[in-house]
Amino acid sequence: MLSLLAQYILFHKSEPSIPAVEKASVAHGLMETADAHAGRDPRHAAELRTAALAALSTIR
């Protein structure tokens, strides 16, 4: 029983919660949305770019 529990914990500990590729695609999507909003709402575009940079910094 203890061995099964240890295997379960090690399996879930070893897999990352969100892959780096997925985080990069989130940042890419935020940058594309920021580019789309740049002409209409520059402040919102700047916030989206900041969020994209924050998402990229969590990859490391």
CB 52 within 8 A of CB 34: yes
- Per-residue confidence at 58, pLDDT binned at 50, 70, 90? confident
Q: What pLDDT does residue 5 have?
A: 77
Q: What pLDDT does residue 16 have?
A: 57
Q: What is the pTM of this model?
A: 0.57
- Per-residue confidence at 56, pLDDT binned at 50, 70, 90? confident
CB 33 within 8 A of CB 48: yes
Chain segment 19-50, per-residue pLDDT in tens: 555 656 888 888 888 888 888 888 888 888 88
The helix (run of H) or strand (run of E) holding residue 30 is helix 20-37
